[in-house]
Chains A and B, each alone.
Chain A
Amino acid sequence: MRKILKAGVALGALSLLVAAVASGSAEGQAQAKDTLVFATEGEPTFLDPAIVSDGPSLRVADQITEGLVTVKPGTTKIVPDLATSWTGSNGGKRWTFKLRGGVKFHDGTPFNAQAVCANFNRWYNFPAAFQPDSVAYYYYTVFGGYRKPAQGITSDPLFSSCQVVNASTARINLRKPSASFIAALSLPSLSMQSPTALKKYKANAGTLSADGVLRPSGTYATEHPTGTGPYKFKSWKIGDKLVLERNDSYWGKKAKLKQVILRAIPDNAARLQALQSGEIDGYNLVEPQDISTIKRNSSLKIIDRPAFNVGYVTINSAKAPMNKLLVRQAVAHGLDREAVVKSFYGGRAQVATQFMPPQLFGWAKDVKKYPYNPARSRQLLQQAGLTLPVEIEFWYPTDISRGYMPDPQRNFQAFAASLENSGFKVVAKSAPWRPDYVARVQAGNAGHLNLIGWTGDFGDPDNFIGTFFRTPQNTWGPINPKIHAILNAALRETDLEKRTLTYQQANRLIMANLPGVPYVHTKPALAFKKSVRGYVASPIELEPFAPVSK
C-alpha cells in the first residue's frame, strides 16, 4: 500500500512539474494578433528570386518584390503591376511598358525605366556561376540564353536589349517573337529589385564551390532582398524563422498585418500538429489523408488551391501499333479515367479532357472526348486490323508521389485492368522515378504507354502544351506536324484574344490526334485557423499575405 501511495505521490509531483513548466509567460499575446505565422515545407534557398526556383524561396520573394505584371489573385489572368500597360509591336519582338509612377523600392531607390533595364541587363549578363538552370532556372527557361553563355549553355537568347524611352517607359527588344514572355514576367524570379541594393550588397558576385554549387559572395541574397512589395524583409535565421515587416510606404493597398513570420517545418505530420496546437496560423501542402481531420476541427479550415497540373498517359507513336490513330483511340476509350480519379484522389481531383487545366486561357470546351467504353475499344482495334488481345508494354514509376499521381502503382493497376477489358494484354514495367524513369520517358524508351504528368510554372498555355508539343520530342514519337506549327504560331501571336483562339484550336487538334491521354487535374490544399481571413489560393502559388488578416 505504501509503495502504491509513494508511486502516486511521485506521479503527482511529476505532473505538477510538467504543468508548472507548461504555464509559460504570455509575452507576445498582443504581437500574436498582428502577426501571421505560416509554416512552409522547407527553408528558402536564397531571397534573391532571380537565382531560385523552389517554392519556399519564391513565396518569400513574392511578398517583397513585384513584377511588371502580376496575376489576378486566385487566377492565372495577367494584370498590370509595376507596369500599367504594355503593347507589342514589330511582330511580337518589341514590347513597350508604361510604368507606374511614384513607386519606390524599400531602400528609397525610385522605380523607373532605368531600374527595369538594370534588372533585365542583370539577368542577361549573369556570370557563369549564375547561369545553370539549377540557379537561374526561370530566366533560363523563359529567355533561353545569356550575353556570354557559360559552358553547356547552348540555346540562343530571346532577350536582345532594354531601352529607356523615358523615365516612365521601358522597351524590351527580343530576338524572336514571343507572347508567352509577358505571362512569365509575373514570376517572382523575373520581378524588379532595387538596382542600388543589388549593387551595394554584391548580388552578382558568387563562385561555384568544389561541389558545383553557387555560393554567393555578397549578402544581397541572404540579408538584403529589396523590392517594392507590401512587405519588406526584416530578418532570417535558418532553422528558426524568417520575418517580414509591413511596408508602410507601399504604393498600393497596404498590408493588413504588421508582421508575417515564416517557419520551415519539413515533416507533414509536424506541420499538422503545429497547426492543431496553435503554434502556427496556417500551412502549405496538406496531405490528402489529413484533410478530413482538419475539416472535423471546428477551429481550423481547408483552403483549396485550384488545379494547375495534369496527369497523363503517354502514348508513344514510334512503337507500332501506336502509330495508328485507331489504336490510340482504342487506348483512350480503354482507360477508365473516371474510376481512377474517383477512387484514388479523395475527391480532390477532376477528370482531365486535355493537356492543360481549365483555369488557363486557351482551354477548349469542345475537344473530342473519349468516355470509357471497352466494347468500342475492341471494335476500334479490330478495325485497325489487329487480332485481340493486342499486347502492349505499359510503364509506371516507383518511389514517387506527385500531386497528380499520389500512388502511381494504384493508377497503373486500375488502368491496366480497364485496358485488359478493352482488348489489350498489358505487360507491366516499372522503374524508380529517380534516376531512371523520367529519363526513359524522355528518351521515348518507356513502352507503348507510360504514366507521367506535369505541374505548371506560370500561367501561359505554352508552359503546358507548348512544353509538350511545340517541338518534336522522343516522349511521344512522331505527332501531327500541324500541332508543332500551330503552337509556334500561338507563341508569336501578341493579341491575347487571337492567342486564346489559337490555343483552343491546338487543344482540339491535339485531342483529335491523341499523342497521349490526359486523365487528371488535382487540387492541392492549404490549412488555416478559422480566424485567418483573406488568404486567396493561387493555381501558380502566387499568394500574397498582404490582404490576410486574423
Chain B
Amino acid sequence: MLRFVVRRLFLLVPILIGLSLLVFFWIRALPGSPAEALLGERATPDSIAQARDQYGLDDPLYVQYWRYVQTVGSGDLGTSIASHRPITEELRERFPATIELAFSAMLFATLIGVPLGFFAAKRYGGIFDNSSLFLSLIGVSIPIFFLAILLKWLFAVNLGWLPSVGRQDVLIDAGHPTNFYVLDGIVTGNWNAAWDAAKHLILPGIALATIPLAIIARITRASVLDVQNEDYVRTARAKGLAPRTVDRRHVLRNAMLPVTTIIGLQVGLLLSGAILTETVFAFPGLGSWLQMAIENRDYPVLQGGILFVAMVVVVVNLLVDISYGLLNPRVRLAGR
C-alpha cells in the first residue's frame, strides 16, 4: 500500500511540470496582455511599452518561464496584477470558500442522488424509475448559470427565503479564523453566523450539485441493478435474510464501490462548475476569482490558480485511488 502511494506521489512531479508548461504557454497564447488590460483606453504606446517592460513581457518566453519556475519553486505563486495581493494569500481566503461550496454540493448530490438511483433500480421500469431517469437527463443538460438564475429568482427574489449573493449577510459581525465560514461560526460559538453561512451555501450548492447528482443517481442505479443479480445477493435472499438487510448489507454496500470513484472524479467537474456558479452567486471562491482573472488578463493569478486547481484534482484523484483500495480489498491485492 505504501509503495503504491509513494509511486503515485512521484508521478505527481512530471504531471505538475507538464501542467505548468501547458498553463504558462497557453496563457501567453491568449490575445491581449495585462499591460493593455491594466491601462485600458488611457493606454498610450509609451505607457504600454513601460508596462510591458515592467512585467518583463518582452523577454523571451523561456526566460519568462524560468523566472516563473524559480518564484513558484520558492513557494511564491506571484502577485495578482489586479488586486496587487500575493496569490498564496488570495488562495488562503478563496480555497476554503470553494471547498465549502463543493462539499455542500457533493453532500446534496450524494444524499439525493444515491437514494434516487437506488429506488429507481428497485422499481426498475416503473414510473419512479422513468421519471428519475428523465430528471437526471435534465440535471445533466441544464446550463448551470440558467438554473442558478432561476433558483435565485424563485427563492431569493420572489420568496425571499434565501440569500442570492456572497457567503454571509454583511450585517453579521463574525470572526473568520479558518475562512470556512460555517466552521468559523461553530468554532467561535456564533451560531447565527454559522446558520447564515450555511444558508448562503444552499442555492449555489444546489446549482452546482445538479450535474453530479444526475451522474451519481445514474451510476447508483446501474450499479444496484448489476449487484442485485450477483450470486451472493441471491444466496443472501435464499438464506431468508430480510429484504431490507439484503439491500443494506449486500446490495448497497457493493453497489457503492463505483459510486465512490465517481464521487471522487466529480471534483474536477465541481471546480469547473464553480466558475459559473460562483460568478452568478458572487461567491468569493476560486471560480469567480479565475473568471475575473481571465477578464483582467491577470497572468499570475491564472498561472498560480490553474496550477493550484490542477494539483488539487490530481491529489484528490490519488486519494480516491487510495480510498478505493481501502474499500475494496481486491484492488489492494492486485497492487501487490
Say yes or no: A269 contacts B79, CB within 8 Å.
no
Verify A25–B192 contact, CB threshold 8 A.
Answer: yes
Chain B residues numbered 41-75 whose CB sits less than 8 Å from any CB in chain A: 41-51, 53-56, 67, 71
Q: Which residues of B contact A238 (CB under 8 A)?
A: 83, 85, 90, 93, 284
Interface centre among A27, A214, A280, A432 (most CB of B within 10 A): A27
User: In the assembled complex, how far is the CB of residue B135 from the closest CB belonging to chain A, in whole angstroms?
Assistant: 12
Contacts of A237 in B (CB 8 A): 176
0 or 1 for each of A66-103: is its CB under 8 Å from B? (1 = yes): 00000000000000000000000000000000000000
Q: Is the CB of A21 within 8 A of B199?
A: yes
Q: Scan B137-170; emit 1 where CB is below 8 A from any A CB, else 0.
A: 0000000000001001101110111111111111
**B97 interfacial by beta-carbon distance below 8 Å:** yes
Complex: how many Å from CA A209 to CA B94?
Answer: 21
Question: Among A152, A279, A439, A455, which residue has its beta carbon within 8 angstroms of that of B163?
Answer: A279
> A143 at interface (Cβ–Cβ under 8 A)?
no
Contact of B165 among A46, A215, A279, A455 (CB under 8 A): A279
Q: Smallest CB–CB gap between B10 and chain A, Å?
A: 29
B310 lies within 8 A of chain A by Cβ: no
Contact status A24-B195, CB under 8 Å: yes
In the complex, chain B residues whose CB is within 8 Å of the CB of A265 = 165-166, 282
Could you tell me if B172 and A274 are in contact, using CB atoms closer than 8 angstroms? no
**Taking the complex as formed, is A496 at the interface, i.e. its CB lies under 8 A from any CB of chain B?**
no
Q: Is the CB of A18 within 8 A of B155?
A: yes
Contact partner, B54, options A45, A152, A438, Cβ 8 Å: A152
Q: How far is the CB of B286 from chain A (nearest CB, A)?
A: 11
Interface of A is mostly: mixed
**Could you give, for residues 187-205 of chain B, a 1 whenever the CB lies within 8 Å of some chain A CB and a 0 otherwise?**
0000010011011001000
Q: Which residues of B contact A19 (CB under 8 A)?
A: 161
Knowing A152-B53, A210-B67, the reply to whether A241 touches B280 (Cβ < 8 A) is no
A133 CA to B126 CA, complexed, in Å: 68
Say yes or no: A434 contacts B196, CB within 8 Å. Answer: no
The contact of B47 among A21, A27, A133, A280, by CB within 8 Å, is A133
Asked if B38 is at the interface of the complex by the 8 Å CB criterion, the answer is: yes
- The smallest C-beta distance from B122 to any residue of chain A, in angstroms, reads 12
In the complex, A137→B44 CA distance in Å? 13
Within 8 Å CB of B264, what residues of A?
Answer: none
- Chain A's closest residue to B131 (CB) is A7
Cα distance, A470 to B33, chains bound together (Å): 29
Within the complex, which residue of B42, B160, B195 is in contact with A25, where a contact is CB–CB below 8 Å?
Answer: B195
B44 to A273, Cβ gap below 8 A?
A: no
Interface 1/0 per residue, A305-324 and B, CB below 8 Å = 00000000000000000000
Which of B47, B165, B176 interacts with A270 by CB under 8 Å?
Answer: B165
Task: Give the distance to chain A from B251, nearest Cβ to Cβ, in Å.
Answer: 20
B190 to chain A, nearest CB (A): 10
Contact A215 B156 (CB under 8 A): no
B-contact 0/1 string along A189-220, CB 8 Å cutoff: 00000000000000000001111111110000
A196–chain B nearest beta-carbon distance, Å: 24
Is residue B325 contacting chain A, with contact meaning CB distance below 8 A?
no
Is A261 close to B, CB under 8 A?
Answer: yes
Closest chain A residue, CB of each to CB of B300: A211
Interchain nearest-CB distance for B67 vs A (Å)? 6
Bound Cα distance from A212 to B81, whole angstroms: 8
Smallest beta-carbon distance A355→chain B, Å: 15
Q: Give the chain B neighbours of A274 by CB distance below 8 A.
A: 164-165, 282
Assembled-state Cα–Cα distance A265/B42 (Å)? 25
* Interface size range of chain A in the complex: 35 or more
Decide if A240 is an interface residue (CB 8 Å cutoff).
Answer: yes
Q: How far is the CA of A447 from the CA of B45 in the complex (A)?
A: 18
Task: Select which of B31, B55, B157, B162 is within 8 A of A435 by beta carbon.
Answer: B31
Closest to A35 in B: B171
A213 and B167 contacting across the interface, CB-CB below 8 Å: no
B126 partner residues in chain A, CB cutoff 8 A: 3
CB distance from B11 to the nearest CB of A (A): 29
Q: How far is the CA of A271 from the CA of B282 in the complex (A)?
A: 8
Residue of A nearest to B149 (CB): A269
Among A28, A132, A278, which residue has its beta carbon within 8 angstroms of that of B50? Answer: A132
Interface residue tally for chain B (C-beta within 8 Å): 79
Q: How far is the CA of A134 from the CA of B39 in the complex (A)?
A: 7
- A434 and B172 alpha carbons, distance in the complex (Å): 41
CB atoms of B84 and A213 under 8 A apart: yes
B128 / chain A contacts, CB cutoff of 8 Å: 3, 7
The verdict on B279 contacting chain A, using a C-beta distance below 8 Å, is yes
Is B36 interfacial (CB-CB < 8 Å)? yes
Instruction: Write out the residue numbers on chain A whose beta carbons fall within 8 Å of the beta carbon of B199.
Output: 21-22, 24
> Which residue of chain B is the closest to A297 with respect to CB atoms?
B157
- Is the CB–CB distance between B160 and A278 below 8 Å? yes
Q: For residue B334, which residues in chain A have a CB less than 8 angstroms away from its CB? A: none
Residues of B within 8 A of A497 (CB): none
Q: Considering the chains assembled together, what is the distance between the CA atoms of A209 and B281 in angstroms? A: 32
Report yes or no: B51 in contact with A132, Cβ–Cβ below 8 A.
Answer: yes
Residue of B nearest to A20 (CB): B161
**Are B41 and A263 in touch, CB under 8 angstroms?**
no
Q: Are A31 and B79 in contact (CB under 8 A)?
A: no
How far does the Cβ of B192 sit from chain A's closest Cβ, in whole Å? Answer: 6
Give chain B residues whose Cβ lies under 8 Å from the Cβ of A264.
282
Contacts of B79-101 to chain A: CB distance below 8 A: 79-86, 90, 93-94, 97
Contact partners of A216 in chain B: CB under 8 A: 84
- Among B37, B42, B94, B171, the residue within 8 A (CB) of A239 is B94
CB proximity of B35 to chain A, nearest CB, Å: 8
In the complex, what's the smallest C-beta–C-beta distance from B318 to chain A, in angstroms? 29
Q: Is residue B127 contacting chain A, with contact meaning CB distance below 8 A?
A: yes
Residues of chain B within 8 A of A152, CB atoms compared = 49-50, 53-54
Chain B contacts with A in 264-293, Cβ cutoff 8 A: 279-282, 284, 288, 292
Could you tell me the distance in whole angstroms from the C-beta of B31 to the nearest C-beta in chain A?
6
Closest A-chain residue to B168, C-beta based? Answer: A240
Among B38, B153, B171, B198, the residue within 8 A (CB) of A32 is B171
Chain B residues contacting A453 (CB-CB under 8 Å) are: 41
Is the pair B54, A263 in contact by a Cβ cutoff of 8 Å?
no
Check A298 for interface membership: any CB of B closer than 8 A: no
How distant is the Cα of A15 from the Cα of B302 in the complex, in angstroms?
40
User: Do the beta carbons of A215 and B86 come within 8 Å of each other?
Assistant: yes
Let me know if A270 and B167 touch, CB within 8 A: no
Most buried by B among A134, A453, A455: A134
Question: Taking the complex as formed, is A175 at the interface, i.e. its CB lies under 8 A from any CB of chain B?
Answer: no
Q: Is the Cβ of A209 less than 8 Å from the Cβ of B164?
A: no
Complex-state Cα separation, A18 to B56, whole angstroms? 53
In angstroms, Cα B97 to Cα A274, docked, is 19
Q: Given contacts A21-B162, A24-B195, A208-B54, are A434 and B78 in contact (CB under 8 A)?
A: no
Q: Contacts A270-B280, A438-B43 hold; do A212 and B192 have CB atoms under 8 A apart?
A: no
A24 to B194, CA, bound (A): 11
- Interface: B118 (CB within 8 A): no
Q: A402 within 8 Å of B by Cβ?
A: yes
Closest 3 CB pairs of A and B: A239-B284, A22-B161, A28-B171
* 13 residue pairs from A and B, CB less than 8 Å apart: A23-B161, A133-B50, A134-B54, A153-B50, A209-B79, A213-B84, A215-B86, A240-B170, A267-B282, A434-B31, A434-B37, A438-B41, A442-B45
**Interface residues, chain A, with chain B CB atoms under 8 Å away:** 3, 7, 18-19, 21-25, 27-28, 31-32, 35, 37, 42-43, 45-46, 132-134, 137, 152-154, 208-216, 237-241, 261, 263-267, 269-271, 273-274, 276-280, 402, 432, 434-435, 438-439, 442-443, 452-455
